[in-house]
C-alpha cells in the first residue's frame, strides 16, 4: 500500500507594506496596557482583602476601586482583541479602549500610570491607523 503525500504549495505572498505592522503595534500596546491595569488591580485586591480582614479599621469599600480597575483592564484587553480581529470597527473600539484606559485611574492606572499610557497609545493607534493603507500614502 502506497501513501501519497501532498505536493508542496507555493508560500503565500507576504506583504512588503510597512504600514501593515501598525495594527499589530496598536494591539500589542493595548494588550500590555490592559495586562498592567489588571495586574495592579489584582495586587491591590489581594492587599486590600488582607488589610480589610485584619484588625485594622479599614472599610471594605476600598475593595471597590481595584475591582473597577480589574474590570477596566479586562475590558481593554477584550476590546483590543476585537479591534485587532475586526479592523472594520477599529475607530469605535479604539475610542472605547482610550476611554477605559482613562477610567482605569480609579483602580490605579496600571503601575503608576504605565498601563494607562500604553493602553491609551494603543487606542489612539487603533483609531488613527488604517490597515488598508498602502506604502505609497503611509505617513510613516
| Domain contains 135 | no
pLDDT value of residue 108: 79
Number of Cα atoms under 13 Å in the Cβ half of residue 56: 12
Count structural domains, the chain: 1
Which domain range does residue 60 map to?
Answer: 22-128
| Domain contains 7 | no
| Domain contains 107 | yes
Handedness of CA 102, 108, 110, 111 (dihedral sign): positive
| Domain contains 110 | yes
| Domain contains 102 | yes
**Mean pLDDT value across residues 46-63:** 62
Measured CA to CA, the distance from residue 78 to residue 93 in angstroms comes to: 10
| Domain contains 134 | no
Note whether 89 and 22 are within 8 A (CB): no
pLDDT value of residue 105: 87
Report whether pLDDT(120) > 50: yes
Length of the chain: 140
Q: What pTM did the predictor assign? A: 0.73
| Domain contains 15 | no
**Mean pLDDT value across residues 9-18:** 49
Amino acid at each position: 500500500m502506497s501513501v501519497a503525500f501532498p505536493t508542496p504549495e507555493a508560500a503565500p505572498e507576504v506583504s512588503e507594506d510597512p504600514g501593515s505592522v501598525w495594527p499589530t503595534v496598536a494591539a500589542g500596546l493595548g494588550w500590555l496596557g490592559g495586562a498592567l491595569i489588571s495586574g495592579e488591580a489584582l495586587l491591590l485586591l489581594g492587599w486590600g482583602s488582607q488589610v480589610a480582614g485584619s484588625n485594622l479599621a479599614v472599610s471594605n469599600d476600598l475593595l471597590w476601586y481595584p475591582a473597577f480597575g480589574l474590570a477596566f483592564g479586562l475590558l481593554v484587553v477584550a476590546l483590543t482583541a476585537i479591534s485587532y480581529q475586526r479592523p472594520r470597527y477599529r475607530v469605535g473600539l479604539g475610542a472605547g479602549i482610550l476611554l477605559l484606559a482613562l477610567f482605569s485611574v480609579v483602580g490605579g492606572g496600571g503601575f503608576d500610570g504605565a498601563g494607562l499610557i500604553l493602553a491609551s497609545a494603543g487606542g489612539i493607534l487603533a483609531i488613527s491607523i488604517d490597515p488598508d493603507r498602502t506604502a505609497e500614502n503611509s505617513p510613516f
